Structure 1
């Protein structure tokens, strides 16, 4: 009976004000505020076009996620977020983001061996809603860049839908796509090989913040080459990428 009353109240709130107050009534004030922020950002993001922004002036966020596996719809979870900020051709050293996430499940042994993230480390970490809120606040309305972005985008989109019932509206640019355009015919486009090719020091792989930093350095190498080719705006870049 109590459960039926709870569902009835949630349905009433949904009819009166939409999904946000309905979910908020079930989640508590802090989570409700975080969800409202994420939903508001998603709505605002859809209004703005960044395609005309000059690449040598634009602020972008290069990010990476570590996860318990490959399938967010089958129980795998994010266990860390990492991100760095670039302003045009400069890495903003004092602006970065890193947080572990409590996945509310055990971290598989092979993931611990790969990432160094243990169950003990995640037990005291903040939950997904908190870290997702903080990450999206760091990102703002900026373009997102990642290497082999499909994995990260899938997990991020799933997390946004699960926590806030919104889809990712930010553009996500994949450095693999840029590499394939600028360096066609390579036998490998994995991050280690590209970093080595461009003389970028490999620090700590499979650490979300360090992978973000290294991917950012790779992007800056490519950005210089794009500017030399008179690829000036994000729209110019997407036009070239669409042909390759």
Structure 2
């Protein structure tokens, strides 16, 4: 399929650093490049052929966010990003990403105590658009995985809209939903409960990268169990999750 002229021109602008002067002057050239990248990355990510990939061969990025609260539309913000790449069922311990983001409001004391991220750390951190750009560059076009993903998706989507007027276009899988579907008689929700269930060591909680790593090992355990249910591809998984 021929690449749309507008998208082709945007990618050329990104690669050649020749963004429109109006965008560059408003945000600064570096920020404008980051915004353009964010807009472009989220186009065309739900390719149908991805549905036929074996889960044991699927390239994913397992991620977690720490936030200043639970209500993005009421002013809570992303405090840190953590992610690790997984090749099929192999967690890539040397392929990780972690960054703290500057916040526009003071961090509540209970969040400081929970995450260990102080106001001073946040004040010295890169602005959201820069931190978001780094995170999205790292995950690239991989399928995203998170535990209780609704929380993280809401924050990511709002951050993308605020910084680049784009929406999250990635496929996102939820380890909590998959685990609950595999164990329909269980009422467990939290990451700690499922980690304990699968015998995965709990290292450090409420740290974006460490939570992402533990979730990655939970994902690989789930993939093995899904195979026992004849759920082999991403398409199979969607069908499996759609059953009541």
TM over 0.5: yes
Displacement after TM superposition at 1:23 (Å): 4.2
* Match in the other structure for 2:55: 55
1:75 deviates by: 1.4
Deviation at 1:230, TM superposition (A): 2.1
Q: Report the equivalent of 1:239.
A: 239
Q: Which position in structure 2 is the counterpart of 1:70?
A: 70
Tell me what 2:190 maps to. 190
The residue that corresponds to 2:155 in the other structure is 155
Give the aligned partner of residue 45 of structure 1: 45
Q: Report the equivalent of 2:5.
A: none
Shift of 1:44: 3.7
- Cross-structure match for 2:146: 146
- Cα RMSD (Å): 1.4
Distance change >3 Å, CA 46–CA 32, structure 1 → 2: farther
How far apart are the structure 2 equivalents of 1:192 and 1:46? 31
User: For the residues of structure 1 that align with 2:48 and 2:99, how far apart are their CA atoms?
Assistant: 28
Task: Point out the structure with max Rg over C-alpha.
Answer: 1
Inter-partner Cα distance in structure 2 for 1:48 and 1:132: 26
The structure-2 alpha-carbon separation of the partners of 1:224 and 1:156, relative to structure 1 and needing over 3 Å to count, comes to same
Shift, 1:49, TM fit: 4.3
Structure 1 moving runs of 4+ over 3 Å: 20-25, 46-49
Q: Distance in 1 between matches of 2:228 and 2:187?
A: 25
Describe how 1:206-217 pairs up with structure 2 within 5 A.
Answer: 206-217=206-217
Query: Which residue in 2 is equivalent to 1:6?
Result: none
Q: Partners of 2:238 and 2:67 in 1: how far apart? A: 29
Render the CA deviation track for 1:156-178: whole Å, top value 9, x for unaligned: 00000010001111011111110
- Counterparts of 1:85 and 1:130, CA distance in 2: 20
Q: What is the CA-CA distance between 1:24 and the residue it aligns to?
A: 3.8
- 1:10 aligns with none
Distance 1:197 1:42 in 2: 35
Distance 1:223 1:189, change over 3 A: same
> Any gaps of 5 or more consecutive residues in structure 2?
1-18
Gapped runs of 5+ residues in structure 1? 1-19
Distance 1:56 1:77, change over 3 A: same
1:184 Cα deviation after fit: 1.0
Q: Structure 1, residues 72-115: CA drift from partner, whole Å, max 9, x if none?
A: 12211111000011001100111001001111221100101111
Residue 222 (structure 1) aligned with residue 222 (structure 2): yes
What's the TM-score once normalised by structure 1's chain length? Answer: 0.88
Alpha-carbon distance in 2 for matches of 1:37, 1:212: 24
In structure 2, the residue matched to 1:25 is: 25
Identify which range, 38-47 or 110-119, moves more after superposition. Answer: 38-47
